[in-house]
Amino acid sequence: MTSKRPVPLSIWLQAIVFVLQITASSAAADEAVSPFAPGETLTYKLRWKFINAGTAVFQVQPVTQMHGIPAHHFLLTIRSSSFVDVFYKVRDRVEAYTDLAITRSLLYRNEQREGSYSRDVTVTFDWQNEIAQFENRGEKQDPIFIYPGTFDPLSVIYYLRMQELAPGNVLKAPATDGKRIVIGRVKVVEKQKVKVPAGKFDAFLVEPDLGRMGGVVKRSKAAAVQIWVSADERRIPLKVSGSAKLGSFSAVLVSVE
């Protein structure tokens, strides 16, 4: 049985996931110079206000087959901390599949277990007809039209890592969760030094256009989000920091395997 989704940690989930989904450019990807490979694991510590909210783990799975063609398989798992578990337990699993060149999404799944709220979403991509179909536990919504090169909220993060970044660039790309499509836009601000638990890095500071975002972030006039991406060939997201209607949130890189 499902119920209305509680507010606190969902603030972080909406903000972080949507921010990351629009942080990409429109340049063509080249698999030969891919900055990641199967087996890569990135672990992040999540905070909401002063609370240790939990962890997020991004993994590149072995290459698989999707619709008869080789495909990348990406996995994100989110777990709330033992403290947060007491009042709002989170166990989310998100999967995304793209072609090997990472030019578009092929399939997206999102299994959410957050407090008393739960859903099992699948978004299928019909590129012949250029539509995406949202489905939650067998209940389908009307398909939506998508643009060439549209990504889902998870795979677009890896698409970003395929692109060259430089201060002053304004990057954009279409992304969808199956219910709507947006043209994400982000500005590369400057190069900085960043220290996170995983180490010290040269990084690019990028800022998304919050006017294009929905949900709780858009409703807050004080909303602001900044993302730091490593200024090397791997282009790893190092840190996300922001504010929303009900407080600040952050994600910092703890380890790279």
Among the ranges given (22-36, 183-197, 219-233), the one the predictor scored with the smallest mean pLDDT? 22-36
Q: Which stretch of 59-68, 74-83, 132-141, 237-246 has the lowest confidence by average pLDDT? A: 237-246
Check pLDDT > 50 for residue 169.
Answer: yes
> What local confidence, expressed as pLDDT, does residue 93 receive?
96
The rounded percent of the chain whose pLDDT value lies above 90 is: 60
Instruction: Reply yes or no on whether the pLDDT at 102 is more than 70.
Output: yes
User: pLDDT confidence of 161, banded at 50, 70, 90?
Assistant: confident
Q: Which of 32-46, 59-73, 138-152 has the lowest mean pLDDT?
A: 32-46
Across the chain, mean pLDDT equals 83
* HEC secondary structure over the chain: CCCCCCCHHHHHHHHHHHHHHCCCCCCCCCHHHCCCCCCCEEEEEEEECCEEEEEEEEEEEEEEEECCEEEEEEEEEEEECHHHHCCCCEEEEEEEEEECCCCCEEEEEEEEEECCEEEEEEEEEECCCCEEEEEECCEECCCEECCCCCECCCHHHHHHHCCCCCCCCEEEEEEECCCCEEEEEEEEEEEEEEEECCEEEEEEEEEECHHHCCHHHHHCCCCEEEEEEECCCCCCEEEEEEEECCEEEEEEEEEEC
pLDDT at 223: 47
Q: Give domain limits for the chain.
A: 8-256
